[in-house]
Chain A
Amino acid sequence: MVVGSKKQNWWDLAFIIPGLFLFVVFLIIPLSQSIYQSFFSWNGIAISKMKFVGLKNFQMVFTNEYFWHSLVNVLLFMAGGFIVLMPISFLLAIIINKKYKLKRFFKTTFFMPVVLPLTAVGLMWVYLLFPEIGLVPILMEWFHLPEINFLGDPDWAIISVILVNEWTFAGLNMLIFSAGIVAIPEELFESAKIDGATGWQQTRYITFSMMKEYFKIFSILCITGCIKHFNLVFIMTGGGPNRASEMPATMLYNEAFVYKNFGVGNAIGVFLLIAGVTLSLLTNKLFSRGDD
């Protein structure tokens, strides 16, 4: 540090600058611009001037019933995460830590959808859910269940996407829980067995309580992930039918690039920014996770 430290400092700067430059130009500046531009209305044509409109964009967002509906959809997404995704991933995590002969096969299979292109997965499900010809409607007919137009029915569209989302990401969350299960010392189970605890009691008192940290991590990821969700909804329904399955992020896209209300799009962007930061600060504080 003493000899030639001035020269070293220059090298350090040279090491930092390229990455920092890209990050600032392509992320930080656009983000700050989205705040600034949210006070202007703009029709998307590069040469036409932006017009200052004050808070009108925000007013348009908050008086838009579709926007409020998109927040309801965010809540549904979160509910799906806690009611469907969490129990399934937790069970899968227990499974891949038990001594099944097919353990390796299970782990590989459960995780597979996570690595495949989401567009391909989403597209596949669009057709598996297609009324009358799709796999799921056919199976439902077999069991004499009522016919549901999964993606075409405004009441069902978001629920269908949520379920496909849980199907896709169960494997990822399984590994998060699995990391927690692996970390539990084996002796705890040994001594519990000696004390005569049943399998369920072991799960209840050892696994659950030792895994609090991982349920917290899941909760943080789920809550902050849901507010930002875009991809699957965009691929499978585009926010439809009749904007019933919009999420804030898909609405941003539609308002800006379909309806050409770029100002409104930016206002939603600012909302996402504030909501995203608030939620991650809030959840991190709430679940007060230690650093690493």
Chain B
Amino acid sequence: MERSKTVRKGTAYWILGVFAIIWAVITLYPFIVTIFSSLKTNDEILGSMLNLPRDPVWHNYYVAITGAKTLHTIMNSIFLAVCSTAGVLLFGSMLAYVISRKKHKYNKIIFTIFLTGIVLPIYATLVPMMKMISKIDILQPNAFYTLILIYIAICLPEGLFIMAGYMRGISRELDEAAIIDGCNTPQLFFRILLPISKPALATSAIITFLACYNEMIFALLFITDKAKYTVSIGLLYFVGKKTTDMGPMFAAIILTTLPMLVFYMLFQEKIQSGLTAGAVKG
């Protein structure tokens, strides 16, 4: 036993170890270069990205915040993501409850409708959606609620399947006992079922929050008002321009990734398992 273990450590262990370190460098080094560049003057960046910043130019961050309104875009994106997540959790869990715990004839149809929602490419909706928004007066472009409603619709299927899958596993006797005790449906749902389903709610919340914070295409289509720019549109503004001030651009990249990085460090395990579950279900 001991010997075979050392043999295995001998070759594959070291080769894989070296590969792991190389991949870690490949993953981290670009971010390190970006951090360095965010603290450099333009001349320094054009000189060589490899060098350390000579004298940290914190002014770049000031320009990114005041000029490109980066903090503002971050707040907008967080607001959109929080509202959409709340919507997906509420509507998704309600749907999940009926689909997973009740026996209605229409359940199967509803399930199929949402299943197609996961498979279909949302890009096919771009043109009709644009037309619809320009035609229907209550759906204003440049209004966050329009985007929030769209985001909820897009993220609903994935959240629904995660929550329905979880609720299916909860014993049905619980419902019967609650009904005998005189609970009506909302009481049963909000007081008993939702608290038990917390793990599934957390997973759906994480997936939805990340997707909405990072969303680009619908924001790009419907938001033209600069005060309402999201993170993605704010950054797209820089793309492809060999601008005179690259420092602030790198600063903006760092600033916009920071909230997600903190979020990731706080809920690492949950985010990793949640996104994997989401991808596999999808």
Interface residues of A (CB under 8 A from B): 3, 7-9, 11-12, 15-16, 18-20, 22-31, 33-34, 37, 42, 44, 46, 88, 91-92, 94-95, 98, 100, 102, 105-120, 122-128, 130, 133-135, 138, 167, 170-172, 175-176, 179, 193, 198-200, 203, 217, 221, 224, 227-228, 230-231, 234-236, 238, 249, 252-253, 256-257, 262, 265-266, 269-270, 272-273, 276-277, 280, 292
Interface residues of B in 45-103 (CB under 8 A from A): 45-46, 48-50, 87, 91-92, 94-95, 97-98, 102
Task: Pick the 6 closest A-B CB pairs, nearest first.
Answer: A19-B91, A269-B124, A26-B153, A11-B185, A33-B128, A30-B125
**Contact between B257 and A116, CB atoms less than 8 A apart:** yes
Most buried by A among B8, B214, B276: B276
Q: Is B166 an interface residue (CB 8 A)?
A: no
Q: Can you name 17 A-B residue pairings with CB atoms under 8 Å?
A: A9-B104, A16-B95, A30-B129, A42-B131, A109-B27, A117-B231, A120-B235, A120-B256, A123-B238, A124-B34, A127-B246, A128-B34, A175-B275, A193-B4, A235-B236, A277-B119, A292-B165
Task: Give the residues in chain B near A238, CB-CB below 8 Å.
Answer: 239-240
Q: How far is the CB of A94 from chain B (nearest CB, A)?
A: 6
Interface residues of B in 174-228 (CB under 8 A from A): 179, 184-186, 189, 210, 213-214, 216-217, 221
**Contact between A34 and B91, CB atoms less than 8 A apart:** no
Of the candidates A19, A23, A42, A126, the one whose C-beta lies within 8 Å of that of B94 is: A19
CA–CA, A176 and B110, complex, Å:
28
Interface residues of B (CB under 8 A from A): 1, 4, 7-8, 11-13, 16-17, 19-20, 23-24, 26-31, 33-34, 37, 45-46, 48-50, 87, 91-92, 94-95, 97-98, 102, 104, 106, 110, 113-114, 116-117, 119-132, 134-135, 149-150, 152-154, 156-157, 160, 165, 179, 184-186, 189, 210, 213-214, 216-217, 221, 231-232, 235-236, 238-240, 242, 246, 249-250, 253, 256-257, 260-261, 263-264, 268, 271-273, 275-276, 279-280, 282
> Given that A34-B124, A95-B19 are known contacts, is A138 also in contact with B50, CB under 8 Å in the complex?
yes
**Contact between B264 and A123, CB atoms less than 8 A apart:** no
**Contact between A193 and B127, CB atoms less than 8 A apart:** no
**Contact between A12 and B7, CB atoms less than 8 A apart:** no
Given A95-B19, A200-B12, A249-B123, 9 more pairs with CB closer than 8 A: A15-B189, A16-B95, A91-B16, A120-B235, A138-B48, A221-B282, A234-B216, A272-B124, A276-B120
**Contact between B216 and A235, CB atoms less than 8 A apart:** yes
Q: How far is the CB of B249 from chain A (nearest CB, A)?
A: 8
CA–CA, A245 and B249, complex, Å:
25
**Contact between B150 and A26, CB atoms less than 8 A apart:** yes
**Contact between B264 and A115, CB atoms less than 8 A apart:** yes
CA–CA, A115 and B263, complex, Å:
9
Q: How far is the CB of B266 from chain A (nearest CB, A)?
A: 11
**Contact between A11 and B186, CB atoms less than 8 A apart:** yes
Task: Give the residues in chain A near B121, CB-CB below 8 Å.
Answer: 227-228, 249, 269, 272-273, 276
**Contact between A118 and B257, CB atoms less than 8 A apart:** no
Q: How far is the CB of B118 from chain A (nearest CB, A)?
A: 9
Q: How far is the CB of B113 from chain A (nearest CB, A)?
A: 7
**Contact between A277 and B114, CB atoms less than 8 A apart:** no
**Contact between B98 and A25, CB atoms less than 8 A apart:** no
> Given that A112-B264, A124-B253 are known contacts, is A253 also in contact with B126, CB under 8 Å in the complex?
yes
Task: Give the residues in chain B near A193, CB-CB below 8 Å.
Answer: 1, 4
**Contact between A133 and B124, CB atoms less than 8 A apart:** no
Task: Give the residues in chain B near A18, CB-CB below 8 Å.
Answer: 91, 94
Task: Give the residues in chain A near B268, CB-CB below 8 Å.
Answer: 108
Q: How far is the CB of A231 from chain B (nearest CB, A)?
A: 6
Of the candidates A117, A171, A273, the one whose C-beta lies within 8 Å of that of B213 is: A117
Of the candidates B16, B102, B134, B261, the one whose C-beta lies within 8 Å of that of A12 is: B102
